[in-house]
Amino acid sequence: MQLVYPSDFRLTDKEKSSICYLSFPDSHSGCLGDTQFSFRIRQSGGPRSPWHADDGHYSSGAPVSLQREPAHYFGYVYFRQVKDSSMKRGYFQKSLVLVSRLPFVRLFQALLSLVAPEYFDKLAPCLEAVCNEIDQWPAPTPGRTLNLPVMGVVIQVRAVHILARVDQPETSPPKQCSQENLLPAPVVLTSVHELDLFRCLQPVLTQVQTLWELMLLGEPLVILAPSPSVSSEMVLALTSCLRPLRFCCDYRPYFTIHDSEFKEFTTRTQAPPNVVLGVTNPFFIKTLQHWPHILRIGEPKMSGDLPKQVKLKKPSRLKTLDTKPGLYTAYTAYLHRDKALLKRLLKGMQKKRPVDMQSALLRRHLLELTQSFIFPLEHYMTSLMPLQKSITPWKTPPQIRPFRQNDFLRSLEHAGPQLTCILKGDWLGLYSHRRFFKSPHFDGWYRQRHKEMAQKLEALHLEAICQANIEAWMKDKSEVEVVDLVLKLREKLVRAQDHQLPVKEETVQRTQLIQMGMGSRPKDLQSVQWPA
């Protein structure tokens, strides 16, 4: 590692070693010219202070899947390998890596494509100038279009949209930002994170249904690709297939035998972990032969208008050497393949439909799949919420009832996706499989929904207190009881002002005025500091 900038950026020796190994394609890839790819590593050495000032405003408006990673780093790589007789090995080989906790793959790849070529020529001074420009960039504000100047160019990108509730899809089209006074014309990005989904998934379009199910169930999957760029794009595309559901399993867009988790992921003494691994070294076919699902992608080959499609193959046909492209798995999909979607995509290729429209079709299909699966869960979860009439001002709010799998499965007979979704298949079997309930995806979804419902309960309780007759309640209460109420109100008010409770502004204002309606406060309350 020749240079780290900023120089005070702290990395452990283990993290530095991982970044060095993952910043170069392995010898099997044979990448010549310029290549871009990404990786993801686990933070080592315990928790650290954040790089940036508090970004609660961004976090409150962005989907959970696009917030800062607390325990992992993303590495975005621009690698160059060209012939150079003056070098000892006969080649110039260098990588510029941008390390971040944010999964903004599209933005950071665009940034690197501008910066890296200049850096390879001018080295440290160029990097210092670029970092000084980036330091002046505004913080990512959800819903706002940002103009980000760098090296005489402006990258114009819309930050993550504000959401009514966590991980709900955007319904309104992006607002166009004025491009006046921007010379030269800006590099316009429609998203900070979305890849070209259609291009990434072209070799596996006929297996998208099966792969979506494997992602949903949190199944271990190895993706053997011809290069780090194909590997990382396929992993990122597949892990994005579950949106608006957050992908809660581990995933590594590019993984090598030198990775610090190599032994952990390849051990045969326990079941394979819930992780999606992108690799390029055929050695992994032998090492991970015990994994239940292996996707082998070959070099792109056209078959008519569509790239040659990966076929389902039995794991017994897996060879340690010269393994042919295919999805090697014993898994049988519960849902039927959507032939109408494949026909529309093929027709789009024949008619030269723009790639972004093809991606939009594919993304809409996957979104509808996930929403169809999640809706019954949302419906059942809502039924566990206490009735609003059971919330009274002077009692602790009632508890959210527990999630019971058997009760939920029984509810599917009259409220399942098989009644509303166009796509046919054994939807009930997909739920009854129960692997989903054991997966990190269900745990992550349930924790998030339970947190939101608990916050809603608190907000309703606060509103009930605001609407109650405080003076009448105080008449026969001891100072201890009044102090207890005031302290609880203070805590709720602080949380409401930090946007941690979904309350209206007038409720916050009424809560602030309660102290005025309490008459002469006991001496115990004189020291209570109310938020402004």
Give whole-number Cα distances, 510 to 88, 130, 456, 470, 518, in Å: 74, 49, 18, 12, 13
The answer to whether residue 527 scores a pLDDT higher than 60 is no
Task: Please tell me the predicted confidence (pLDDT) of residue 172.
Answer: 42
Task: Please tell me the predicted confidence (pLDDT) of residue 163.
Answer: 38
The answer to whether residue 105 scores a pLDDT higher than 70 is yes
Give the integer Cα–Cα distance in Å for 141 and 161: 9
pLDDT tens per residue across span 444-488: 999 999 999 998 888 888 888 777 777 777 777 777 877 777 777
Give the integer Cα–Cα distance in Å for 373 and 436: 11
Q: Among all chains, which residue has been given the structure tokens 């709010």?
A: 397
Task: Please tell me the predicted confidence (pLDDT) of residue 216.
Answer: 95
For the chain, percent of residues with pLDDT exceeding 70: 83
Task: Please tell me the predicted confidence (pLDDT) of residue 91.
Answer: 79
Q: Among all chains, which residue has been given the structure tokens 């009448």?
A: 472
pLDDT tens per residue across span 266-290: 998 898 999 999 999 988 988 998 9
Give the integer Cα–Cα distance in Å for 471 and 517: 7
Over its C-alpha atoms, the chain yields an Rg (Å, rounded) of 27
Task: Please tell me the predicted confidence (pLDDT) of residue 133.
Answer: 92
The predicted model gives 5-30 an average pLDDT of: 84
pLDDT tens per residue across span 80-104: 888 877 777 777 888 999 999 999 9
The answer to whether residue 358 scores a pLDDT higher than 70 is yes
> How many other CB atoms are there within 10 angstroms of residue 482's CB atom?
18
The answer to whether residue 175 scores a pLDDT higher than 60 is no
- pLDDT band, residue 529 (cuts 50/70/90): very low
The predicted model gives 496-517 an average pLDDT of: 65
pLDDT tens per residue across span 368-427: 999 999 999 999 999 999 998 888 887 888 899 999 999 999 998 888 887 777 788 888
Inter-residue contact 58 to 499 (CB < 8 Å): no
Give the integer Cα–Cα distance in Å for 512 and 531: 8
Mean per-residue pLDDT over the chain, rounded: 82
The predicted model gives 143-165 an average pLDDT of: 75
The answer to whether residue 225 scores a pLDDT higher than 50 is yes
Q: Among all chains, which residue has been given the structure tokens 């994005």?
A: 240
* Axis-axis angle for helices 228-239, 208-216 (nearest 10): 70
Task: Please tell me the predicted confidence (pLDDT) of residue 224.
Answer: 94
293-296: strand order across its sheet: 250-252, 275-279, 221-224, 293-296, 326-329, 312-313
Entry pTM: 0.86
Q: Among all chains, which residue has been given the structure tokens 């566990």?
A: 384
- pLDDT band, residue 499 (cuts 50/70/90): low
The answer to whether residue 255 scores a pLDDT higher than 90 is yes
pLDDT tens per residue across span 299-316: 876 655 677 888 989 888
Residue 49 or 146, more confident: 146
For the chain, percent of residues with pLDDT exceeding 90: 38
Give the integer Cα–Cα distance in Å for 434 and 430: 8
SS (H, E, C) 288-350: CCCCCEEEECCCCCEECCEECCCCEECHHHCCCCCCCCEEEECCCCCECCCHHHHHHHHHHHH
Phi-psi region of 118 (alpha: psi -120 to 50; beta: other; left: phi over 0): alpha
The answer to whether residue 171 scores a pLDDT higher than 50 is no
425 DSSP 8-state letter: B
Give the integer Cα–Cα distance in Å for 69 and 6: 20
Inter-residue contact 228 to 31 (CB < 8 Å): yes
Inter-residue contact 457 to 389 (CB < 8 Å): no
Q: Where are the domains of the chain?
A: 13-47+60-160+184-194, 469-524
Task: Please tell me the predicted confidence (pLDDT) of residue 174.
Answer: 42
- The number of residues making up the chain comes to 532
Report the relative pairing of strands 293-296 and 221-224 from DSSP bridges.
parallel
The answer to whether residue 162 scores a pLDDT higher than 60 is no
The answer to whether residue 258 scores a pLDDT higher than 80 is yes
Task: Please tell me the predicted confidence (pLDDT) of residue 300.
Answer: 73
Task: Please tell me the predicted confidence (pLDDT) of residue 168.
Answer: 47
The answer to whether residue 428 scores a pLDDT higher than 90 is no
In 3D, which of 335, 292, 280 has the Cα closest to residue 79? Answer: 280
499 DSSP 8-state letter: T
The predicted model gives 200-218 an average pLDDT of: 94
